[in-house]
Amino acid sequence: MLENLDLNLDLNKQPFSKKPDILIAGCGTGQHALNTASRFLNSNVLAIDLSLSSLSYAIRKTQELSVSTIEYMQADILELTQLNRQFDLIESVGVLHHLEAPLTGWAVLVDLLRPQGLMKIGLYSELARQAIVASRDFIKTNHYSTSAKDIRQCRTDIIAIAQDSDSKLAKVLTIPDFYNLSECRDLLFHIQEHRFTLPEIEIALQQLGLQFLGFELGHSQTLDKFKMLYPG
């Protein structure tokens, strides 16, 4: 699987385990864990989350698919040192940026990583989330609560304002999560989020003693556009 990724990694000099132990820190309803287990067929996956309801759903779906290589556990990232286990691969996407101190949580994960192990980390981008920031400011200014009624009213008001294509709020209308109540709550109403610039990520990697291997892009068009803007 790693051979198919555009990473600054020589697998001949740094071979990856044929039967890796993998940690999914913040597995939610299980899709992330299931995707990873399917990518690394001989793996043993430990998937943790704080939410019991999410874990219950994840376990049910995993059983329905007859996947036996995933173990689920309720746990707090900040307390994972109590596991006394180490992993060849640690993935945490959509979690660290919601912690009060993201680098503290990230450091806990680093301590669980085996020598020469790999990490896949997903963080909010300061640049990419400008429309989200504008929406969160709008929510704060107008005192919307996280109730279903207020979220629906907020969406209606944002749509009305965003009819002006110059509005910073307009871009949020292109995000599918905006139109689903629970996903909109996580997108715009989360109690806490931190966003990162590339220089800030570089500093974090240095502080944590990690080597940057590359980005995993969801769409090839993103890389194509970057190469067009910055040839060579």
In the sheet where 87-93 sits, what is the strand order? Answer: 70-74, 44-49, 21-25, 87-93, 113-122
> Poorest-confidence range of 38-42, 48-52, 99-103, 152-156?
38-42
User: What tens digit of pLDDT does each residue of 99-156 get?
Assistant: 999 999 999 999 999 998 999 999 999 998 999 999 999 999 999 999 999 999 999 9
Segment holding 201, helix H or strand E = helix 198-208
Residue 18 CB burial class (10 angstroms; 0-12, 13-18, ≥19): exposed
What type of residue sits at position 131?
A: A
pLDDT digits (tens, 9 = 90+) for 167-183: 788 899 999 999 999 99
Sheet strands (E) in the chain: 21-25, 44-49, 70-74, 87-93, 113-122
CA angle 125, 128, 131 (to 5 degrees): 120
> pTM of the full predicted structure?
0.86
